[in-house]
Structure 1
Amino acid sequence: MIVLDATIVNIALPSAQKALGISDANRQWVITAYTLAFGGLLLLGGRIGDLFGRKRTFTVGLLGFAVASAIGGFATEGWMLFAARALQGAFGALLAPSALSLLSNTFTDAKERATAFGIFGAIAGGGAAIGLISGGLLTEYLNWRWCLFVNIPIAIGAAIGAYYLLARDHIEKGHRVKLDLPGAVLGCGGLLAIVFGTSQATSRGWDDWVVIGCLLLGAALLAAFALFERRTTHPLMPPHIVGDRNRGGAAIAVGMAMIGMFGLFLFLTYYLQAVKGYSPVMAGVAFLPMTAAIIISATGIAARLMTRVPSRNLVVPGLLLAAAGMAWLIQMKVDSSYATVVLPSELLLGFGMGMVFMPTMSLATLGVAPYETGAASAIINTAQQVGGSIGTALLNTIAASVTATYLATRNASSPEVRSAGAVHGYVVATVVAMCILLTAALITFLMIDHKPKQGESESAEATAQMLA
C-alpha cells in the first residue's frame, strides 16, 4: 500500500489539479508533501516501533493511513489534499519499518524467512508498477478521488488481520528503549532537508541556492546526528546497527537501485504516453511484464537460493541484470517497438530487481536483537525513499537539460523534433542510471560478505519444492 501510493497519485495528478484548482506552481506538493513526511520521519517511526511495540505501531499506522486517505479523497481545496498527503507520509513512516521488523521477528526459521522475504521483496519491487496501473484504471473509469479511497479497505483489512493474527510484542525490561528526542530532531531534520532539496531540484535546478542550501543543511544535520548518536545512552539509530557492513551494503544497493528504477518509471511513463500516444491505462498495463518478472524473480529464484548461496551472489547479478535492462533501453527511438525495445528492458530490469530486493530486505534485520529491529528496518526504508527522491530529481534534470540542448540547435516548433529531443534526453539519462547500477554492483560486491549458515540449505530444499 505504501509503495503503491507513491506512484498511484502521479497518474491522477492532472485530474486532481483541475478539480481542486491547484496552480502549476503548487501541484508538486501533492507528491512532495508525501515524500517529505515519509522520508523525513522514517528513522523516528522505526524507533517508535521499538519503543511502543511493532504490532501497536503497525496497527496505528494502518488506521492513520486510512483516515488520511479519506481526508484526501474528500478534499475540496488544494491545501486539504496537501495536508492529507503529508499525513499519509507520516503514518506511512510508522507503518513501513514496523512491517519489516514484524516480518523479521515473526519468521526466524531459514525456510520461512526465505519465503516471507521473497513475497515481501516482490511486493516492494512491484508495488510501484501496480500503482501506475491502478492509478490509470481508477482515474479513467471512476475519478481521481478513488486513487485515495482505494487505500481505506486495504488498510482496515490489514489492521483487522494484524489485531487477530499478529502476536503481541514481548520486550525484555532490561532492553526497553527510550525516545531520543535530540537525535530525532537532527536525523529527521537532515532527511527532511535532503528530500526537500532533491524534490526542488527538478523545477529549480541543482545550482539553485534553495536546493544547495537544503542539501548542505541536510548533510550538516546528519553529520551532527552521527556524532550525537555515538555519545547518547539511548540512540535513535544505534551505531552498531549502522556500522554493519552487510546492512550498509544492502542499504546502498537498495538506494542506488531505486535511483535507477524510479528514473525508468518516469521516462517510460512519459515515453509511452507523450511519444507513443498510450492512454494512462495502457501505459500502466505496459508495466505488467516488469511486475511479473519481479514477483517471479523474488519468489521463485531469490527465495529459493537465499539459504544456499552468499547474499552478494544474488544481489550483484541482480544489479547487473538491471543494468543490462537499462543498456537495452539505450536503443530507444521515437518509432521503437514496445515488443522489441521496451518489453525486453522491463523483463531484464524486473528479474534483476527481484534478486536485489529479496536478500537486501532480509539482510536489513538479520542478526539484530528483537528490540532493535524497528531501527534496523528504518535504514532500508530510508534508503528506498531517499534513493527514489534523488533518482526522480537527478535523472529528470539530466533528461530535461539534454533535451533543451538538443532543441536549441533544431526546429523546436516541429512535433517530430520535440519528440526526438525528449527521447534523446531519456536515453542519456538512462545511460546515467545504468552507470549508477553498475557502481552499485561493485560496491555491493565489496561490502556484502554474508553467507548462509550451515544447515540452512536443507530447509531451502523444502522452500524450493513449495515455490515450485
Structure 2
Amino acid sequence: MKWNTFHRLIAEQEREVSVVASTVRPQSSYGLRLALLGLAQFIVTLDFNIVYVALPDIGSEVGFSEQSLQWVVSAYVVVLGGFLLFGGRAADRLGQRRVFVVGLLLYAAASLVGGFAGNPGTLIAARAVQGIGGALLTPATQRLIFSNFAAGPERNKAFATWGAAGSAGLSAGALLGGLLTNYLGWQWVFFVNVPLAVIAAFAAVRVFATDTTGGGERKGFDLPGALIATLGSTLVVFGAVRGPDAGWTSLQGAWSVAAGVLLLAVFLFVESRTEAPLVPLRMFRNRGLAVAMGVAFAFQGSTAAVYYLLTTYLQSALGYSALQAGLAFLPPTLLSMVSALRITAPLLNKWGIRRTLVVGVLITAVGTAGLFAAFSANSSYWALLPGLLVWGFGGGIAFSPMFAAAGIGVQPAEQGVAAAMANTTRQIGGALGLAVVVAVVVATAGTRASGADLVDGLRTAGWVAVAITVVAALVVLVLKKPAPPAPAAEPAPEAVTLPAAAKPAASEVSP
C-alpha cells in the first residue's frame, strides 16, 4: 500500500470521528488536555500487566499450550517495541492528533476482538494489533505534550501527570486484572479497554486543534527504512523475550537478536542514503536524545528485572497467590504516583532535567538495593516494604524527566520520532534486562531450584539490577549542565559632552 493511500485512509477515518464531534470547539482547557493525555498513557501501560493474572484462565478456556501461552503477553510487547519508530514518524508526517485518534481506535477494535477470541491465533493477533495501537499512541502522546504545553512549569507539570498516569496504569493492571478475572471472567481484561479508548478518541477531536501538517511534510516517507527498522526492532525484542525459554543458542534466541541488530545496521546505512529518512542520522548527535535513549534502556531493564524477580520471590518463595503478588506492588506504585504528581514538577522547575533525573535514578537504585538485601528464605512482605517504597518513590521522580530529555533541542517536526527512539530503546532495554536476570537466576540456582537456592539466585540477579540502575544514573551525567542565568546588563554610561577646545580637529580624525 502506497503512503498516500495509507494517509487517505487515516484521514477518512478521522473525518468520520470529526463529524460526531463537530459541535464542540477543537481547543479546550489546560485541564482537559492534561487529563486526556494522561488517560492515553494509562491505557497503554494498563495492558502491560492486566493479562498476567488472567493467563491461567485464558490458557484453559482458549486452548493455549504451556509453551504458547506466554505470547498473550509477548505479542503485545514485541509488536509495540517493533513499530514505535514507524509510529513516531507517522505522528510527525500525518499529524499528532490524527495518529493519536487512530491508535486509540485500533486499541478499542483489537480489545473487542480479543475479548471474543475463541482460539489462540485470534487472541495473539488481537494482542499484536493492540501493540500497533500502542506504537502509534505513545509517540503521538508525547508529541502532543510538547506542542500543547509551553516549555517550563506548564510542560513540566504535563510530563509529571503523564508519568503518574503510567504508574497508575501499571498498578491498576495488576489489581484490575485479578478483580475482573475473578468476578466477570478473563474476557473483561480486554473489554475494559473498549470504552476507555473510544471515549478518549472522540474527546481528542474535541480537545486538540486540527493538525496543521502541510503537504510538503508528507512527501517522501521513507517506506524502506520504516520496514527495515520495524523488522529489525521486532526481531531484537522477539529474541530477547524468547531467549530465556527457547535457549540462547536457538533460532528464536541469540540468532534472532543478531539478525535484528544486522537489520538495524542496514537501516542506518539506508537512512544515510535517503533524501527523507525515517530517522535523520543527525538526531543521534543530539546529546539530550542520546542520553534519554541510554537512560531509558538501562532504567527499563532494571525495572523489568524488579517486577520479575519480586513476583517470582513472592509466589515461589513466600507462597503468595497471583492476586496477592499483584497487590504487593500497590503501595510502591501509589507512592510513585504521588512523587510524580507532587514532587517531580517542582524539582524540574527548581533543578532542571539533569539534576532531577540523576537524583530520581539514584533514589531508585537505593530502593532496589534495599529490596534485594531483604530477600531471604524466611522473610516477609514487611521486610521488603521499605525498599519497595523507596524504589517506587525514586521511579516516580525519574520517569517523566527521562522522556522530557528526549525532546531537548529537537525540532518540533521531529518530536514524534524522538519520542519513538527513546521508547524503542526502552522496550528493547526492558526485554534484554529481563533476559539477563533470568539467565543469572538459572546460572546461579539452576532451572528447578527452590527454597534457599532459589532465593540466592534471585538475590544475585537483584544485585545485577542494582548495578544496571547505577549505570543509568551515570549516563545522566552526560547531559549538559544548565547554563547559568545571564548577568543583568549594566546601564550604559551617560554621554559626556566635550568642550569645544577638547574636540579634535577634522584633520586629526582617522579615516
Same fold (TM over 0.5): yes
CA distance in 2, matches of 1:213, 1:333: 36
Q: Measured at CA, do residues 444 and 114 of structure 1 come closer, stay the same or move farther in structure 2, by a change above 3 Å? A: same
Q: Residue type of the partner of 1:119? A: T
Q: Measured at CA, do residues 48 and 406 of structure 1 come closer, stay the same or move farther in structure 2, by a change above 3 Å? A: closer
Q: Give the count of matched residue pairs.
A: 443
CA distance in 2, matches of 1:432, 1:126: 27
The aligned counterpart of 2:304 is 262
The match for 2:366 among 300, 317, 324 is 324
Shift in Å, 1:281: 2.8
CA distance in 1, matches of 2:135, 2:262: 23
Give yes or no for the alignment of 1:30 onto 2:72: yes
Greater mean deviation of Cα atoms: 325-334 or 46-55: 325-334
1:336-374 CA deviation, whole Å, 9 max, x = no partner?
Answer: 12122x211211111211221121121222332222111
The aligned counterpart of 2:185 is 143
Q: Measured at CA, do residues 453 and 385 of structure 1 come closer, stay the same or move farther in structure 2, by a change above 3 Å? A: farther
CA distance in 1, matches of 2:483, 2:190: 42
Q: Contact conserved, 2:53 with 2:323, CA < 8 A, in 1?
A: no
Q: Residue type of the partner of 2:382? A: A
Decide which structure has the larger Cα Rg and report it: 2
Q: Residue type of the partner of 1:92? A: G
The aligned counterpart of 2:275 is 233
Matches within 5 A, 1:388-427: 388-404=430-446, 407=449, 418-427=450-459
The aligned counterpart of 2:318 is 276
CA distance in 2, matches of 1:59, 1:110: 27
The aligned counterpart of 1:464 is none
Shift in Å, 1:333: 0.9
The aligned counterpart of 1:466 is none
CA distance in 1, matches of 2:464, 2:298: 12
Q: Contact conserved, 2:232 with 2:261, CA < 8 A, in 1?
A: yes
Q: Measured at CA, do residues 127 and 220 of structure 1 come closer, stay the same or move farther in structure 2, by a change above 3 Å? A: same
Shift in Å, 1:450: 5.2
Q: Contact conserved, 2:288 with 2:407, CA < 8 A, in 1?
A: no
Q: Measured at CA, do residues 73 and 85 of structure 1 come closer, stay the same or move farther in structure 2, by a change above 3 Å? A: same
The aligned counterpart of 2:406 is 364
Task: Report % sequence identity.
Answer: 38
The aligned counterpart of 2:479 is 448
Matches within 5 A, 1:45-194: 45-172=87-214, 175-176=217-218, 178-194=220-236
Q: Measured at CA, do residues 78 and 452 of structure 1 come closer, stay the same or move farther in structure 2, by a change above 3 Å? A: farther
Unpaired runs of 5+ in structure 2?
1-42, 487-511
Shift in Å, 1:402: 1.9
Q: Contact conserved, 1:308 with 1:452, CA < 8 A, in 2?
A: no
The aligned counterpart of 1:333 is 376
1:271-322 CA deviation, whole Å, 9 max, x = no partner?
Answer: 2233323333322221111112211222222211213214221112222111
CA distance in 2, matches of 1:81, 1:173: 38
Which one scores higher on RCO, CA 8 angstroms, separation ≥ 6?
1
Q: Contact conserved, 2:371 with 2:385, CA < 8 A, in 1?
A: no
Q: TM-score, normalised by structure 1?
A: 0.90
Root-mean-square deviation (Å): 1.9
Q: Measured at CA, do residues 155 and 405 of structure 1 come closer, stay the same or move farther in structure 2, by a change above 3 Å? A: closer
Q: Contact conserved, 2:82 with 2:230, CA < 8 A, in 1?
A: yes
Matches within 5 A, 1:423-438: 423-438=455-470
Shift in Å, 1:259: 0.7
SS of 2:52's equivalent in the other structure is helix
CA distance in 2, matches of 1:58, 1:28: 28
Give yes or no for the alignment of 1:387 onto 2:453: no
Shift in Å, 1:208: 3.1
Q: Contact conserved, 1:4 with 1:130, CA < 8 A, in 2?
A: yes
Greater mean deviation of Cα atoms: 268-277 or 319-328: 268-277
Q: Residue type of the partner of 1:266? A: Y
SS of 2:480's equivalent in the other structure is coil
Runs of 4+ in 1 over 4 A off after TM superposition: 172-177, 452-455
